[in-house]
Each structure stands twice: as structure tokens, then as C-alpha cells.
Chains A and B, each alone.
Chain A
Amino acid sequence: SAVISQKPSRDICQRGTSLTIQCQVDSQVTMMFWYRQQPGQSLTLIATANQGSEATYESGFVIDKFPISRPNLTFSTLTVSNMSPEDSSIYLCSVEGTLAGENYGYTFGSGTRLTVV
């Protein structure tokens, strides 16, 4: 399965600023997924990032707030813009594992714990 390096692992940011989170994968993948996990909650999908096209956002998430870049098949960034305390969460990237075209599970980055003060 793929190995994902995600950074930063944690940050404390001032409200109104932006933070960019990076995920580097050790193999080429078609789609990368970005999730948010609010305190004590489950994971919510923010968007799907495809190389060479704009990311596809889930309901409740918009590009102006969470711009995503996908410059190649091994790298993606998620920016949390104009942050407020409500953005304090863990953010995780993920890629799908496939074998002979079938899904066999997803690999996750170690997460970025963001605190907005």
C-alpha cells in the first residue's frame, strides 16, 4: 500500500490567516481525498483532488475556503483560508489502494491537528 507523508503534523494559527497542508505520496495515484475531523467527530469528506482538473467539493465546502492544488500524481495541498476557531480540526489526506482494478482499502496521512486562536 502507498505511504503518505503529511505535514505539518500540527499548528496553532491566528484567526484570519491561512494554513497550507501538504501530502506527498510515494507512488502515483489518480485521486487524492481530503477529510476534516472536528473534535470528537467522525471524518467528513471535503473534496476529491484529481491531477489536471479542479477538485470536486462536497456539499458544505467551497473552493474559496478550501483551495486545493494537485500539480502531479504524487502531491496535493489543501489550504484552510481565512481561518476561524470553527476550523479547528484534524485534516487528513487519503488515497485509494487498488489491486487489479479493485479497491482494497485506503491509506491515510497521519493528519494535521489545527488549532485556531
Chain B
Amino acid sequence: SQQGEEDPQALSIQEGENATMNCSYKTSINNLQWYRQNSGRGLVHLILIRSNEREKHSGRLRVTLDTSKKSSSLLITASRAADTASYFCATVVYNQGGKLIFGQGTELSVKP
């Protein structure tokens, strides 16, 4: 079963703009991860934030985690056309043997 929801479901922006995607989850987690999927193929791991962390950066990516609200956000700064993809948050649920449970995903379109 899905762990939570993401919004927006779809996002269309111009190159150079920032893109923000939000994710909510339902249960206690060990960590939360963000993945990118191009054209419905294999997923690429982007960034992981642990349950005791509040913010993490990696290049143009910034992830926040609010465990009190059970929510996370992914910010992509200075977006590029190559960032066009589907983005998923996923959680490793506490005490469930390392299972990775995915949110619904956000489809990002960056127009040149």
C-alpha cells in the first residue's frame, strides 16, 4: 500500500525557475528518500534524509523533513529541461525490514 501522497501531481515550469514538490506520509520512518524516473524506466536515487535531520542539500536539490507533520519537500533550484521527469518520495518504514514504500509521485515538466 502507498505510504502517502505527493502534491502537486503535475507541475509545469519554465527553465530557470524553481520547482517545489511536497510529500506526506503516514507512519514512523527511518528515513525518507527522493527518486527520479525518466520515461517510466528505472529509478534514480536523488537524496536521503534521516528521521533526525531537518534539511539536506545536494547540488541543486534541497530536501526538508518535518516529522511532526509527517511531511517532506523537494526543491529543485534553477531548473533545466533535463530535469523533466517524475519524482517520487519513498519511506523506509520503521521496523518493517527495509521495505521502501512510495508516494504517488509528481510529474515535472520544465519548458525550455
Instruction: List A residues at the B interface (Cβ < 8 Å).
Output: 1, 6, 31, 33, 37, 41-45, 48, 56, 58-59, 90, 92, 94, 96-97, 103-111, 113
Contacts and interface: CB of A to CB of B under 8 A. Distances in A.
Interface in B12-54: 30-31, 33, 35, 40-45, 48
Contact of B100 (A6, A59, A94, A104): A94
Contacts of B97: 31, 48, 56
A105 B40 CA distance: 19
Contacts of B40: 37, 90, 111, 113
Contact of A42 (B2, B30, B33): B2
Given A92-B42, A104-B48, A106-B33, A45 B88 contact: no
| Secondary structure class of chain A's binding surface, majority of residues | strand
B61 interface: no
Contacts, number: 65
Interface residues of B, number: 25
Contacts of A33: 99-100
A105 B31 CA distance: 9
Interface of B: 1-2, 30-31, 33, 35, 40-45, 48, 88, 90, 92, 97-105
A44 B98 CA distance: 15
B102 A31 contact: no
A43 B102 contact: yes
Contact of A105 (B33, B88, B101): B33
Given A103-B30, A103-B48, A104-B48, A92 B43 contact: yes
Nearest to A6: B42
A117 B72 CA distance: 40
Given A110-B41, A110-B42, A113-B40, A45 B101 contact: yes
A108 B33 CA distance: 14
Contacts of B44: 108
A36 to B, nearest CB: 11
